[in-house]
Amino acid sequence: MEVIYGLDNWQQRFPRIITAIGNFDGVHLGHQQIIRTTIEQARARRGTAMVMTFEPHPEELINPGNSPPLLTTGAEKARILRKMGVDVLLLVEFNEAFRKITPREFITVVLKDKLGLEGVVVGYDYRFGLRGEGTTALLRQLGEAISLSVTIVPPVVVKGTVVSSTRIRQLLWKGQIRQAAELLGRYPSVEGIVVHGDKRGRNLGFPTANIQVPRKLALARGVYLVKCGLAKDIFYGVANVGSAPTFNREEVRLEINLFDYSGELYGERIRVEFLAYLRPEKQFRSLEELRKQISTDIQRAKGMLAGSEVAPSSEFPSL
């Protein structure tokens, strides 16, 4: 998959482009349906399957004080799209100038004249252009006038719930990992670099890897059973998402104790899948009380792995 950063770096050198357009935060089952439709149409025309998305997320510019935490980093999104079979990923900078483009200009100037698209695929609730005034009906109307095929993908419904990033965040904030995974089509995950921490876990007898993540986590604070990918190896462990109230820390961190691993991880990139929520974050009265709770968490997590409380990887495969 080729990644192109910005419209200024675009060159019309791809044949018969069909493009999915959207933010695709989470690349959940609804997004996956849009992207698969795009790939199918491109393959049928022996053309190019492209995904056009925006960075930063438009809400970070439009509503910076209340923008929701993202479900996927840019690197995670690119990895998933590559695995799905997308040919080109176009990352468009969402800035003040782009924000002011009218819906008609977006379709005629950007999509048709600049990008030279043959077709676009979007979700049923897609909005675009200045103040979000562009609708799917307008996209279809203007597309027909300029020979741009337009496909509107209906909502994906799982167990009576319409799949959406908003709904997935709500489930994650409640610690409902399995329900969120059912809408994502995979376990929620993050990627990051292992950095130096306070080394309190090591002093307690449970060394932890501190993961630097470049965004707010859309996860409830507390302790999780996790599956970690490190290079080509897989390890399980327990992770804490929180501010360590026992130590009066303000910064929210992701800290992981890996089972059956010894060695230094500083500087390594690690991918973390959250398999189950064990308990909420709490403040302990003593280090001994904290040590006992960590031991209990680890034993419970290992018991879940040995039993049937965690869905098999075939149900929620890693994308």
What is the chain's mean pLDDT, rounded? 88
Q: Are 191 and 229 in contact (CB under 8 A)?
A: no
Instruction: Specify the CATH number for the domain of residue 270.
Output: 2.40.30.30
User: Which residue has 């303000």 as its token pair?
Assistant: 250
Strands 233-242 and 222-230 come out as antiparallel
Whole-structure pTM value: 0.88
Give yes or no for a contact between 183 and 163, defined as CB atoms under 8 angstroms apart.
yes
pLDDT (0 to 100) of residue 132:
84
Domain check: are 140 and 259 in the same one?
no
**What is the CB neighbour count within 10 angstroms for residue 53?**
22
> Do 217 and 298 share a structural domain?
yes
Is there a contact between 294 and 206 (Cβ–Cβ < 8 Å)? yes
| 36 domain residue, yes or no | yes
User: How large is the average pLDDT for residues 16-36?
Assistant: 96
234 contact partners, CB below 8 Å, separation of at least 6? 227, 228
Are 197 and 95 contained in the same domain? Answer: no
The answer to the question of residue 116 being in a domain is yes
- Kindly tell me if the per-residue pLDDT of 245 is higher than 70: no
Catalytic residue among 76, 118, 182, 255: 255
Q: Say yes or no to pLDDT of 301 above 60.
A: yes
Of 158, 175, 200, the domain-final residue: 158
Contact in structure between 219 and 181 (CB atoms under 8 Å): no
Residues 77-86 have pLDDT tens digits of: 898 999 999 9
DSSP-derived letter for residue 109 is I
pLDDT (mean) for 157-177: 95
The amino acid present at 109, given as its one-letter code, is V
Residues 99 and 229 in one domain: no
Confidence band (pLDDT; 50, 70, 90) for 69?
confident
pLDDT for residue 36: 98
Domain extent for 9: 2-158
Q: What is the pLDDT of residue 153?
A: 98
23 inside domain: yes
User: So what's the pLDDT on residue 154?
Assistant: 97
Residues 98 and 200 in one domain: no
Residue 290 in contact with residue 284, Cβ under 8 Å?
yes
Same domain, residue pair 145 and 194: no
Residue 234 lies in a domain: yes
Q: What is the CATH number of the domain that holds 92?
A: 3.40.50.620
Let me know whether 121 and 13 are in one domain.
Answer: yes
Is residue 255 in some structural domain? yes
**Higher-scoring residue by pLDDT: 82, 306:** 82
Spell out the residues 6+ positions from residue 245 whose beta carbon is closer than 8 angstroms to its own. 281, 282, 283
Both 153 and 248 in one domain: the answer is no
pLDDT score for 37: 98
State which of 158, 179, 200 marks the end of a domain. 158
Looking at the structure, do residues 134 and 219 belong to the same domain, yes or no? no
Average of pLDDT values for 291-306?
A: 91
Span 25-39, average pLDDT: 97
Model pLDDT, residue 246: 60
296 within a domain of the structure (yes/no): yes
Residue whose C-alpha is closest to residue 134's, from 103, 100, 94: 103
Q: How confident is the model at residue 72 (pLDDT cuts 50, 70, 90)?
A: confident
- Domain-located, residue 267: yes
Say whether both 107 and 42 belong to one domain: yes
| pLDDT given at position 42 | 98
Structure confidence at residue 203 (pLDDT): 52
Mean pLDDT along residues 265-281: 90
| 190 pLDDT higher than 60 | yes
The separation between CA 238 and the C-alpha centre of its own chain, rounded to angstroms, equals: 21
pLDDT at res. 293? 86
Does the structure show a pLDDT above 70 at 248?
no
Please indicate, yes or no, whether residues 200 and 148 belong to a single structural domain of this protein. Answer: no
In the predicted model, is pLDDT for residue 128 greater than 80?
Answer: yes
Domain count for the chain, please give it. 2
Instruction: Please give the average per-residue pLDDT across 124-129, as a whole number.
Output: 92
Instruction: Return the C-alpha torsion angle 79, 80, 85, 89, nearest 10.
Output: -60
Domain boundary among 158, 181, 216: 158
Average pLDDT over residues 215-244: 86
Q: In the chain, which ranges are continuous DSSP H helix?
A: 29-44, 58-62, 74-84, 96-99, 103-105, 136-145, 165-173, 177-184, 200-204, 287-306
139 CB-near residues (< 8 Å, 6+ apart): 103, 107, 120, 122, 126, 128, 150
Q: Which pLDDT band holds residue 212 (cuts at 50, 70, 90)? A: confident
Both 153 and 6 in one domain: the answer is yes
Q: Is the pLDDT of residue 58 over 60?
A: yes
- 173 is a domain residue: no
Annotated active-site residue 255? The verdict is: yes
Q: Is the pLDDT of residue 143 over 70?
A: yes
- Select the more confidently predicted residue: 204 or 117: 117
Query: Of 260 and 279, which is predicted with more confidence?
Result: 279
